[in-house]
Structure 1
Amino acid sequence: MIKEITLVAGALFGILAIVLGAFAAHALKKKFTEEQLKSFETGVKYQMYHAILLVIIGLNFPLVNTLELVMVAFIIIGVVLFSFSIYGLCISSSNGNKIKVLGPITPLGGLCLIIGWVLMLVVFLDYGKYLGA
């Protein structure tokens, strides 16, 4: 089940990254400042990077132990908190009504992504014990 969730999340994040990137490049380009556009694009890039990562994880990891499950959870939660808080901040501030509560959420999302990557390193090191490395 976690394998399917990982692959579906990766595919959905990838689709949304393309849609939101195109939306920003066309519909929001005239509405956003240069800084807002760059921030929005950062959210899209990180979302796409992690979409690809989730697909790779779903196809290559057994996803049977708790460490792997927690790793995937941190990555999924990190994408939602990081990228979607950036989108919310950019859109709300361009409308003149910045949702300030989203500001502290972005670094929490980044921290979740970092933890996900650290857990991946731990998983790799753990695999090394079994692979004779």
Structure 2
Amino acid sequence: MSSRVMLIFVGISGFFYVALGAMGAHMLAPVMTSRQMEWIHTGLQYQGLHTLVMMVLAVLLMRQPMKPFGWAGIFFAAGMVLFSGSLYCLAFLPLKFLVYLTPIGGFSFLIGWLCILIGALRLRKLAPSHE
């Protein structure tokens, strides 16, 4: 994933993160069950964290283009859509079969973090020495 595409995704994700957070705090809390609010809260936590990490990855890609960082962005985006998205759907819609997408999204997050590890290990080899 290019840094441009990653930043576009970050902008969209950040917008929905703030919008859902505000809705959850002001409009949804009185009409939803505590379980539904937990699903929204958990989805927002993971979405917010991975949105920020994707923003950092986009900056890294601008300075040092590396495939593992691009792949991390792809897996984080998939994780946000599948993990957080399925939790939001569980809270808002009566489509309980979507619960099966949640672990796939969680696994996507894990693969994304492994991609960052691989990129970091390669980055160390590429970085010039300052000694």
Conservation of the 8 A alpha-carbon contact between 1:74 and 1:113: yes
Structure 2 partner of 1:54: 54
Report % sequence identity: 29
For this pair of structures, how many residues does the alignment match? 128
**1 CA distance for matches of 2:92 and 2:112?**
27
Shift of 1:65: 3.9
Structure 2 partner of 1:81: 82
Shift of 1:68: 2.7
**2 CA distance for matches of 1:119 and 1:111?**
12
Show structure 2 runs of 5+ residues with no match: none
Show structure 1 runs of 5+ residues with no match: 93-97
**2 CA distance for matches of 1:64 and 1:50?**
20
The answer as to 2:129 corresponding to 1:128 is no
4+ aligned runs moved over 4 Å, structure 1: none
User: Deviation digits for residues 10-40 of structure 1, max 9, x if unmatched?
Assistant: 1211111010011111221112111211221
Name the Cα RMSD after superposition: 1.8
**2 CA distance for matches of 1:65 and 1:31?**
46
Normalising by structure 1, report the TM-score: 0.87
